[in-house]
Amino acid sequence: MNKYNLIILPLITLLLSGCLGTRYLEGNEKLLVKNKIKGEVNIPNSDIEPVIIQKPNKKLPIIPFAIYVWFYETGERYYDVDEILEDKQEVIEKYNSRIEEAEKEKKKNKLQRKRRKKVSKIDKKLEEGNLLMRWGEPLAVYDSSLSSTSAAAIEQLLKNKGYFNAEVDYHIDTARNNEKVIVTYELNPKARYLIRDVSYDIQDSTLEETLSKAKDIRKIKTGVAYDQAILIDKRNELDAYLKNHGYFNFNREYIRATVTKHDSLNVVDININILNPENKNSHSLYKIDSVTMVTDSDVKNKEEPRQKIYYRGISYKYFEKTYSSKVLTSRIFVKPGQLYSRENIFDTQRQLGTLDMFRTINITYDTLGGNIDVFISVTPLKKFQMANEFGLGINISQGVPGPFYNLTLKNRNTFGGLEILQLNARVGFERVATENESNNEFYNNNEYGANLSLTFPQFILPLGEARKTNMGKLNPTTKILTGYNYVSTPEYQRENINAYISYQWFKHQKNYYNLTPLEVYLIDSEIKDSLFQARLRELELQGNSLIRSFDPSFVSATYFTFTKNINQYGQGSDNNSAYFRLLLEHGGIIPEFNSSLTFFKYDKVSVDFRRLIVFDERTQLAYKIKGGVAVPYGSGSENLAPLPYEKYFFTGGSNSIRAWRSKRLGPGDYQPLFFVGDTDSLAYDDRFEQPGEILLEASIEFRQNLAGFIDIAFFIDAGNVWRLKDVNLNPEGSANTENGKFEFENFYKEIAVGSGAGLRLDFSYIVVRFDVGVKIHDPGRAEGRRFIWDEGFNKYPYNTRAADPFVLNIGVGYPF
């Protein structure tokens, strides 16, 4: 049988079997297949569609049938309520009997937990159906009453958007033997009203004086289209502002808006009235009377009372003094004598949580005296914590497993100032192919290393105590780290000692800052294999500076990063989110001090922007844009190298251009092709990474939930790296005539483009990803032959693993 029949025949069978959904219709039922919206309104359809109650069944991209209906209907055939109820009763009786027989209370509690878990699972099946039913959705049988209700809902939406005289009607069209229905909603919006004037009527003179200091909070723009959302947002702003300025008991219900229409002018006047509480002439202002913090709320049943000390107006209570009052005070933003502020309460709870010291943080109030007494009680985490991780890593290119072991030791509140001392250690063994022998031969790559870090919850700088306390809202931390890493292979061994000090701060978990004034690396390597060394020198002639990473080296740098994370990008947010990161780095701040070491001087800048657009609970679109430049420079000393190898840019791989192997794309239109011996056969040597000083990269990915934890994706990746200057990339025997230099008039011709599809298994706690990348435009080929389809996959000019147009990527987590 032709291999294509294996794909086409099942597809035809699915179509003929009625996966379109009409086969499940009964009697005179009709299938809703589409909703249309017609009418000239200044409102996007994406705002109107959610209020339409009945929607067609969802479909996957390209696939013309409703596979979710098939899931649901198949599951329903095997769904028996009576059988499920019997299973539930059996489970209850089984566990009740075992609980009665259990003698120990601990065992009884364990059995009760198991019973609850199993019964909850059965209840979920009763409420939501079996697994296939939950993966799918019921058939969208057309209901005319829902269309009528939807039309009314759209009409109300238009009125809320300023189309006060709007009218909405609908009609249906049928197709395919009168079995399918298309509903068209006809919108007649008429004139949209503008906001002409805004006035306030505030009964409480003290409250009015408070708001007079915040003109932006009171302001509503005039001359713009009326939108009820403007009033809702303004109501929330006023409520938040007042609760942050002493009005503890203020409620949004006190804020009323009256909208007066003027039909002849198509305008509205808005009056915002802030009422007083019932039977009162004003709203009560609250001040903080006292702040008390209990630092060991989990300790109970002690006869003696807790000790008490006062520090900067805050009362600390404890059985044993454990934490620095000075540091805690810098993270508590409610102080006696201040007006009540809800924002300060939230900031206090959030910032105490970021210290990684407390398991629970509870803040309560007492307002009986007319002012507010604030009580903060915390339950400490364990002082010492150990975490182990043992696994079997996979070398994706070779498919050979290797075990690894990670150990993390954490000591909280090391010196009593809420510091965290942490040791991270790793030991790993990997089976990889040798660089100078056949890929069928392997050796053990052994690696181990450790990092020791000390994190302070404040800036370690010569600043006054008052200034450090005022900086508390920035969540400041100082981290000092030193580390050691060792790698041993039959061809080389490499030791790396590094250390740095960094300052980090953020506010409202959106803008993150990191300033590392000093980071140093001391690298010592030894090449054991002469053939490997010869290959490195050969690569050096091609412009690949990998050999420099084996010189005894000293790297010093200072850098600053700014990260903006909107709506928790990358953390499973169900809302639109975005991420931006800027890196500014200067290398070589410590001058040469040893002639036997290689030193580096360079400047580097990179930007990374990513965005996630959520269409619905199943469908998302994500894209990213990355770019960067690293410029090496020096004083002419022979000890100054171009760039540390780790500071170059690379592209290709699981999180980059997925149609190329990791770090093997570029630079520019260069690919290392060599004639084999005296023959005309071409060989492609892809074992070594291809660095560049300039990076441009972009990706776009459409993500769709298929069913349950199974997602699919379609993507397009584009980008490359380039060199800043001409280098000799064409040694004797090379078949390539390009050097990878960035040239403005030509770089766009050297953009590599790949596309593909992926399967993702989303287990909530981890995402396992399988992506197949397909080369579309390969800048390493001669001009005029760079689009793969120009000659077809089977006519690729060199037949090697790296040159293959299909590349499988296996990864953990999303690519961006």
- pLDDT (tens digit, 9 = 90+) per residue, 723-780? 887 655 454 444 444 568 888 888 888 999 999 999 988 877 778 889 999 999 988 8
Q: Is the pLDDT of residue 659 over 80?
A: yes
Q: In terms of DSSP bridges, do strands 598-600 and 511-527 run parallel, antiparallel, or are they unpaired?
A: unpaired
Would the CA dihedral through 431, 436, 439, 441 be positive or negative? negative
Q: Please give the structure tokens belonging to residue 352.
A: 């105490």
Would you say 772 and 808 are in contact if contact means Cβ atoms under 8 Å apart?
A: yes
C-alpha torsion 793→796→798→803, nearest 10: -50
Closest CA to 496 of 540, 442, 553: 553
List phi, psi (to 5°) of 159. -65, -40
Helix (H, G, I), strand (E, B) or coil at 100: helix
Confidence at residue 62, expressed as pLDDT on a 0 to 100 scale: 63
Considering the domain architecture, whether residues 316 and 258 belong to the same structural domain is answered as: no
Q: How far apart are CA 348 and CA 361, in angstroms?
A: 10
Greater model confidence, 15 or 499: 499
Residue 69 lies in a domain: no
Does residue 297 sit in the same domain as residue 238? no
What pLDDT is recorded for position 391?
62
CA-to-CA distance for 752 and 790, rounded, in angstroms?
A: 15
Over residues 346-375, the mean pLDDT reads 92
Q: Residues 20, 169: one domain?
A: yes
The predicted-structure confidence for 277-311, as pLDDT tens digits, reads as follows: 998 999 999 999 999 999 999 888 787 889 999 99
**120 within domain boundaries:** yes
Q: Which residues contact 279 (CB under 8 A, 6 or more apart)?
A: none
- The values of phi and psi at residue 511, to 5°, are -105, 120
- Asked if the model's pLDDT at residue 436 lies above 50, the reply is no
User: For residue 161, what is the domain's CATH number?
Assistant: 3.10.20.310
Neighbouring C-beta atoms of residue 486, cutoff 10 Å:
14
Bridge partners, 606 (sequence order): 583, 628
Q: Is the backbone of residue 61 left (phi > 0), alpha (psi -120 to 50) or beta?
A: beta
161 is a domain residue: yes
Across 322-336, 404-418, 452-466, 666-680, least confident range:
666-680
Say if residue 183 is in the same domain as residue 302.
no
Cis, peptide link before residue 61, omega less than 30° from 0:
no
94 with 229, same domain: the answer is: no
Split at pLDDT 50, 70, 90, the class of 612 is very high
> What would the two tokens of residue 400 be?
């050979």
Confidence (pLDDT) at 405:
83
Strand partners, 229: none
Angstrom CA distances, 390 to 62, 402, 405, 443, 775, stand at: 42, 11, 5, 21, 36
Are residues 16 and 149 part of one domain? yes
- pLDDT higher than 70, residue 430: no
pLDDT, tens digit, 9 for 90 and up, residues 67-91 = 888 888 888 888 888 899 998 999 8
Supply the range of the domain harboring residue 307: 288-380
Listed residues 380, 399, 434: the one ending a domain: 380
pLDDT digits (tens, 9 = 90+) for 156-175: 999 999 999 999 999 999 87
In a domain, 546, yes or no: no
Indicate if the pLDDT at residue 432 is higher than 70: no
Note whether 34 and 172 are same-domain residues. Answer: yes
Specify whether 148 is located in the same domain as 110.
no
Q: Are residues 120 and 247 in the same domain?
A: no
Residue 473 is given by DSSP the state G
- 647 and 630 Cβ atoms separated by less than 8 Å: yes
Q: How far apart are CA 765 and CA 767, in angstroms?
A: 7
Percent of the chain with pLDDT over 70: 85
The pLDDT, as a whole number, for residue 573 is 62
Q: For the segment 523-576, what is each residue's pLDDT rounded down to a tens digit?
A: 898 888 887 788 778 767 766 667 877 889 999 999 999 999 988 887 766 788
User: 268 and 237: one domain?
Assistant: yes
Check residue 796 and give its pLDDT: 47
Which two tokens mark 610?
A: 């990513």
Whether 459 contacts 471, CB under 8 Å: yes
Overall domain count for the chain: 4
User: Of 216, 247, 274, which residue is a domain's last?
Assistant: 274
Of the listed ranges 17-31, 386-400, 605-619, the one predicted with least confidence: 386-400
Give the pair of three-digit tokens for residue 295: 């630092």
Positive or negative: CA dihedral 204, 205, 206, 211: positive
Max Cα distance, the chain (Å): 103
Q: Supply 614's token pair.
A: 């959520």
Q: Helix, strand, coil proportions of the chain in percent (round to 5)?
A: 25, 40, 40
244 and 103 together in one domain: no
pLDDT computed for residue 640 by the predictor = 56
Q: Given a cut of 90, is residue 100 above it in pLDDT?
A: no
Q: Show the tokens assigned to 75.
A: 């599951």
Ramachandran bin of 179, using left for φ above 0, alpha for ψ from -120 to 50, beta for the remaining angles: alpha
Same domain assignment for residues 223 and 163: no
Secondary structure (H, E, C), 166-192: CEEEEEEEEECCCCEEEEEEEEECCCC
User: For residues 124 and 324, what is the distance between their CA atoms, to the nearest angstrom?
Assistant: 48
